[in-house]
Amino acid sequence: MNREKYMRCLQRRLKKLPKEDYERAIDYFTEYFEEAGPEREAQAIEDLGSPELAADQIIRDFAVENAEEPAKNMKRGFSAVWIGILAIFAAPIALPLAAAFGVVILAMLIVIAALILSVFLVAISVTIAAIPCVIVSFWLVFTSFADGIATLGCGLVLLGAGILATMVSIYFTKWCLYGMTRLFGMIVKGGRHYEK
C-alpha cells in the first residue's frame, strides 16, 4: 500500500466526521507523510497502522472530545440554574432591604432640605423683623430719646444678623448641594466600576 491509497482509504472512512474535524485529521496525516518523505513512506504506513484502525481511533478520539464539551456546558448551565434559584429565594429579602435603603436616603434628603429651608426662613424673618424695629426707633427718638436709640441699635443688630444669616444660609445651601452632587457622583461611578 502506498501513501495515496492509504489517504484515499482514510478519507473514505473519515467522511462521517464533521467537516472541521475531518480536515484536521486529514491535515495531520498529510503532514505526517510529508515529514517522513517519499523514502520513508513505507515506514510511516507501518507506524500508523492500517487506515481502517487509524480512522476508527480518530473517530473514537473525536467522540470522547465532543462528549467532554457538553459536560462543561452542563456545569455552566447548572451554575446558572443555581444562581437563578438563589436569586429567587433572595428576592423576598433583598427587595424590601433595597426599598428600605431607598426610603432612608429619601428621608435624609427631605431632612436636609427641611433644615436648609428652615435656616433660610429664620434668616429672612430676622431681617424682615429688623426693618419695622428701625422705622419705629425713629419715632421713639422724638418721644423718648434713650428708648429710640436702644430700639435703633437693636434693629440695626437684628438687620445685620439677618443679612449675615441669609448669606450664611445661601452658602450652606450651595455647600450641601455640592456635597450631595459629589456623593451621588461617587455612588454612580462606584456602581459603574463594580459592573466592570
Give the whole-angstrom CA distance, residue 39 versus residue 55. Answer: 24
- Per domain, the residue ranges of the chain are 3-76, 98-195
Model confidence pLDDT, tens digit, residues 121-145: 888 888 898 889 888 888 888 888 8
Q: Which alpha helices (DSSP H) does the chain contain, by range? A: 3-14, 19-36, 41-48, 51-143, 145-195
Give the whole-angstrom CA distance, residue 140 versus residue 153. Answer: 12
Give the whole-angstrom CA distance, residue 1 versus residue 54. Answer: 15
Question: In the predicted model, what is the mean pLDDT of residues 89-111?
Answer: 82
Model confidence pLDDT, tens digit, residues 11-42: 888 887 788 888 888 888 888 888 888 888 88
pLDDT of residue 9: 86
pLDDT of residue 196: 46
Whole-structure pTM value: 0.42
Q: Mean pLDDT in the chain? A: 80
149: nearest Cα among 165, 134, 131: 134
Q: Write the CB contacts of 56 (distance below 8 Å, at least 6 apart in sequence).
A: 13
pLDDT of residue 107: 93
In the chain, % of residues over pLDDT 90: 8
Mean pLDDT: which of 67-71, 85-89, 191-195 is highest? 85-89
